[in-house]
Amino acid sequence: MSKRIYIDLLHKLEVDHELQGSQRTTAREVLGLTLYILAQGGSIRLAKERFQHSTETISRYFSKGLTSLLLLFAEVIKPMDPQFREIPAEIRSDARYMPFFKDCVGAIDGTHVDARIPVEDQVRYIGRHDTTTQNVMAVCDFNMCFTFALAGWEGTAHDSRIFARALGDNRLNFPHPPQGTQINIFKII
């Protein structure tokens, strides 16, 4: 990440998403240690050595940094047009696709992502290849921008189960088309 992007992200999180430091730790350091743990796959113990703070301090500030990033996530990962009023130009201008995809609002697929899980919880997260994974479902529009993501499912949950949960739980803010719109579901193979 470039310095400019880091500073812009820091400013956005401080102003809009309540990222704060303390008397001993700046917001810049909170973001730095949060990104360090997320990007490097590092542990609290490694961050403790790197940033020279106690385990409790690293854990507390990682939690604060993660909370701010999740608030940003909800602002960024969403449909450009939440009412889905426009048919994407790629479909509208191609007679081969128009009859079939005119009401399509995006594509959904799931994948497994390696996960670091506490030893006592690892059995629930073991996937088909005997590694700990989380099942992640993502939705993107025709501009290849993510409009929804749901992570954290244990092990080998089926895509349709995750999709049903996303549709049924209003707290997840799944982007629903307007009332009365027919929903056709296509899975990427």
**Which spans in the chain are helix H?**
3-16, 27-40, 44-51, 55-76, 89-92, 98-101, 159-168
Q: Which residue has the tokens 């403790």?
A: 48
Q: Name the phi and psi angles at 173, rounded to 5.
A: 55, 45
**Residue 161 carries which side chain, given as an amino acid letter?**
R
| Mean pLDDT of each 10-residue bin along the chain, 189 residues long | 93 92 89 88 83 89 91 86 80 85 81 79 78 84 86 74 85 77 54
The pLDDT value given to residue 105 = 76
User: Do the Cβ atoms of 156 and 135 come closer than 8 Å?
Assistant: yes
CA atoms in the 13 A half-sphere facing the CB of 20 = 3
Instruction: Give residue 133's identity as a one-letter amino acid code.
Output: T
pLDDT of residue 8: 95
Which residue, among 122, 129, 127, has the nearest Cα to 157 in the 3D structure? 127
Residue 153 confidence (pLDDT): 73
Report the C-alpha gap between 144 and 149 in whole angstroms: 13
What backbone torsions phi and psi does residue 87 show, to the nearest 5 degrees? -85, 130
DSSP 80-129: SSTT--SPPHHHHT-TTTHHHHTT---EEEEEEEE----GGGGGGGB-TT
Predicted pLDDT at 189: 47
Token representation of residue 160: 């349709």
Query: Which pLDDT belongs to residue 64?
Result: 92
Provide the β-strand partners of residue 114. 133
Measured CA to CA, the distance from residue 27 to residue 167 in angstroms comes to 36
Is this structure's pTM higher than 0.85?
A: no
What is the distance of C-alpha 160 from the center of its chain? Answer: 19
> What does the pLDDT read at residue 183?
57
